[in-house]
Chains A and B, each alone.
Chain A
Amino acid sequence: MLILNIITPLATSMASSIGIPVIILGTMGLIFGLVLAFAAKVFAVKLDPRVELILAALPCANCGACGKAGCAGYADAIVNEGVSVSLCAPGGPDAAAKIAKIMGTDAVAMDKKVAVYHCSSGGINNTKWKYAYQGIESCKSAVNIADGPNLCSWGCIGFNDCFAACKFDAISVDAEGMRHIDLAKCTACGACVAACPRKLITLIPINRNVSICCSSLGKNPVARQICGTEQTCIACGLCCRKCPVQAITIENNLAVIDYTKCIDCGLCATVCPTKAIVDLKAGMRKKAEIEAEKCIGCTICAKICPTKAITGEVKQVHTVDKETCIGCEQCVVKCPKQAIKML
């Protein structure tokens, strides 16, 4: 009886001091839970399961080459906005094929691209300076002061924002501060293209080895005087006239290559008087050779050859001068008897 007298009030007080908080918090939790469960049904937004599948197929480098904020944004854009499946540069054709499979469309043939500089200047020794710039070591910052510290207001400022922007270690800077692109490492993500305040970098198809290495819109004598390397495009138009497929045009005192037409013959680089056109494969192209037994002496190849490297009389076997041949393969395409081979 005595024990019960002690236990009963203790039990009631314990029940109220523990029970009430438990009940109140428990009820709160229950109500919140129910509300959330209800809300999950009512406010459910249907997510396309393909988004997650596509995200798994992407490299998830979040480089932004596709133009979206990241891989998740691109996956969402493919499904919901119908964006092309082949925009992922680091993923390349593999990723495009995988995504195309998920989306049930055909994989679009994708050209692998690389970044190239359209300026031969840059670094310490290759640039002519307007003034000594002392400030934040960034092209973006330097370009704001009197149109940049370098004399050419179209050329490389030389603080290598492109180097800092490259996430794939494809841009290197040598001892003189000159930047170089390692084409094997370049994924064409476009980070450097966006980083360059002078817009000196563009992406070109990897199977084209010629590019205009100048962005100067200046007129001839001055443009050349202010260039650090004097390899300026002087808009002479020689490349336009010599180009066998008319892929080059002069726009605003500057030659521009249309890579959809370019056949990568390298002829423009050999004719350019200022060496403003760079040909990475110069001297490495295969030379044409005519098989004597197949040649009927039609002279088509001799007429088509842009460097007049092929000579021969009508109905006689023609010969190729290996020194003059630049390996443009024009004659191979035109020969009616398939008598010319590249060796």
Chain B
Amino acid sequence: MGFFGQFFVLAISAIFIQNFVLARFLGLCPYLGVSKKLDSAFGMGMAVIFVMTLASAFCYLIFQYLLVPYHLEYLQTLAFILTIAALVQFVEMVIQKNSPALYKSLGVYLPLITTNCAVLGVAILNITPLGDGSRYNFIWSVLNGFLSGVGFTFVLLAMAGIRERLEMVEMPKSMRGMPIALILAGIMALAFYGFMGMKI
């Protein structure tokens, strides 16, 4: 398989088969919390893609060149949280100063996802050995981070689209809001379960 073949496989698996929200059940908090409106879901999705890509890159470097040489792999969670938190904070400051427009669209969501498990999850999954014992290299880690973010955004937008329409439907009072959202999440997860057996 050439580069693009591998890229395609990674894309399909990150977006559909191993979707962060519906297959790995990571990042459920924004999935339910920020999916009421399509606008805010889109902003959140873009922020997640952005942070996941950056976090993948930096956490990979920290792991490869700081933790592995000293046999400190067991500290990965601690080190990654530290890295992600500092990174997001730093990026937020830079954006606020240099690009007010981008800050307005992403700004509110950036601090929210600092401690999101999906971001930590992608950093840890990037350095976890695959089936044949090998690990992603730097480029594939970054690509995996980006594509996982795309998968997250895709599901978040689908959820927000459905919830916006559900708002207009007449339903029992006890089902309104969060209960129907949870049922909806379950049905969507079932649908994505269909991808589970796929091998590419």
Interchain CA distance A42-B72 in the complex, whole Å: 33
Query: What residues of A have a CB within 8 angstroms of the CB of B78 in the complex?
Result: 25
Q: A25 touching B168 by the CB < 8 A rule?
A: no
The A interface is mostly helix, strand or loop, or mixed, namely helix
- Asked if B130 is an interface residue, CB under 8 A from chain A, the answer is no
State which of A134-142, A170-178, A249-257, A298-306 sits at the interface with chain B: A134-142
Q: B93 touching A43 by the CB < 8 A rule?
A: yes
Residue of A nearest to B167 (CB): A138
Q: B96 touching A35 by the CB < 8 A rule?
A: no
Q: B93 touching A40 by the CB < 8 A rule?
A: yes
- Asked if B170 is an interface residue, CB under 8 A from chain A, the answer is yes
Q: Which of B75, B86, B97, B98 sits near A25, CB closer than 8 Å?
A: B75
Q: A136 touching B93 by the CB < 8 A rule?
A: no
Q: B93 touching A39 by the CB < 8 A rule?
A: yes
Known contacts: A24-B66, A36-B89. The answer to whether A43 contacts B94 by CB under 8 A is yes
Q: A20 touching B82 by the CB < 8 A rule?
A: no
Q: A25 touching B79 by the CB < 8 A rule?
A: yes
Interface set, chain A 129-174, CB cutoff 8 A to B: 136-138, 140-141
Interface set, chain A 281-337, CB cutoff 8 A to B: none
- Asked if B90 is an interface residue, CB under 8 A from chain A, the answer is yes
Interchain CA distance A141-B170 in the complex, whole Å: 13
Counting chain A CB atoms within 10 Å of each CB, the highest count among B79, B82, B86 belongs to B86
CB distance from B170 to the nearest CB of A (A): 5
Contact with A along B70-112 (1 / 0, CB 8 A): 1010010011001100100110011011100000000000000
Q: B75 touching A21 by the CB < 8 A rule?
A: yes
Interface set, chain B 142-172, CB cutoff 8 A to A: 168-170
- Asked if A45 is an interface residue, CB under 8 A from chain B, the answer is yes
Q: B168 touching A43 by the CB < 8 A rule?
A: no
Q: B66 touching A35 by the CB < 8 A rule?
A: no
- Asked if A28 is an interface residue, CB under 8 A from chain B, the answer is yes
Q: A25 touching B82 by the CB < 8 A rule?
A: yes
Query: What residues of A have a CB within 8 angstroms of the CB of B93 in the complex?
Result: 36, 39-40, 43
Residue of A nearest to B103 (CB): A45
Interface set, chain A 3-56, CB cutoff 8 A to B: 20-21, 24-25, 28-29, 32-33, 35-36, 39-40, 42-45
Q: B72 touching A21 by the CB < 8 A rule?
A: yes
Q: A36 touching B86 by the CB < 8 A rule?
A: yes
Residue of A nearest to B95 (CB): A43
Q: Which of B67, B72, B98, B168 sits near A141, CB closer than 8 Å?
A: B168
Interchain CA distance A24-B62 in the complex, whole Å: 11
Q: Which of B79, B94, B169 sits near A28, CB closer than 8 Å?
A: B79
Q: A20 touching B86 by the CB < 8 A rule?
A: no
Q: B89 touching A43 by the CB < 8 A rule?
A: no
Query: What residues of B have a CB within 8 angstroms of the CB of A137 in the complex?
Result: 168, 170
Query: What residues of A have a CB within 8 angstroms of the CB of B168 in the complex?
Result: 136-138, 140-141
Query: What residues of B have a CB within 8 angstroms of the CB of A39 in the complex?
Result: 90, 93-94
CB distance from B128 to the nearest CB of A (A): 20
Residue of B nearest to A33 (CB): B86
Residue of B nearest to A138 (CB): B168
Q: A28 touching B82 by the CB < 8 A rule?
A: yes
Known contacts: A25-B78, A36-B86, A36-B90. The answer to whether A20 contacts B72 by CB under 8 A is yes
Interchain CA distance A271-B93 in the complex, whole Å: 65
Interchain CA distance A141-B167 in the complex, whole Å: 12
CB distance from A6 to the nearest CB of B (A): 24
Q: A45 touching B66 by the CB < 8 A rule?
A: no
Query: What residues of B have a CB within 8 angstroms of the CB of A28 in the complex?
Result: 62, 66, 79, 82-83
Residue of A nearest to B66 (CB): A24
Query: What residues of B have a CB within 8 angstroms of the CB of A40 in the complex?
Result: 93
Q: A24 touching B89 by the CB < 8 A rule?
A: no
Interface set, chain B 23-76, CB cutoff 8 A to A: 62, 66-67, 70, 72, 75
Interchain CA distance A25-B82 in the complex, whole Å: 9
Known contacts: A35-B90, A39-B90, A136-B169. The answer to whether A24 contacts B72 by CB under 8 A is yes
Q: A35 touching B97 by the CB < 8 A rule?
A: no
Q: A45 touching B90 by the CB < 8 A rule?
A: no
Closest 7 CB pairs of A and B: A32-B86, A43-B97, A43-B93, A136-B168, A138-B168, A39-B93, A137-B170
20 contacts across the A-B interface (CB closer than 8 A): A20-B70, A20-B72, A21-B72, A21-B75, A24-B67, A25-B78, A25-B79, A25-B82, A28-B62, A28-B66, A28-B79, A28-B82, A32-B82, A35-B86, A35-B90, A36-B90, A45-B96, A136-B170, A137-B168, A141-B168
With contacts A24-B75, A39-B90, A43-B94 known, what are 17 further pairs, Cβ within 8 A? A21-B72, A21-B75, A25-B82, A28-B79, A32-B82, A32-B86, A35-B86, A35-B90, A36-B89, A39-B93, A40-B93, A43-B93, A43-B97, A45-B96, A45-B97, A137-B168, A137-B170
Chain A residues in the interface with B (C-beta under 8 A): 20-21, 24-25, 28-29, 32-33, 35-36, 39-40, 42-45, 136-138, 140-141
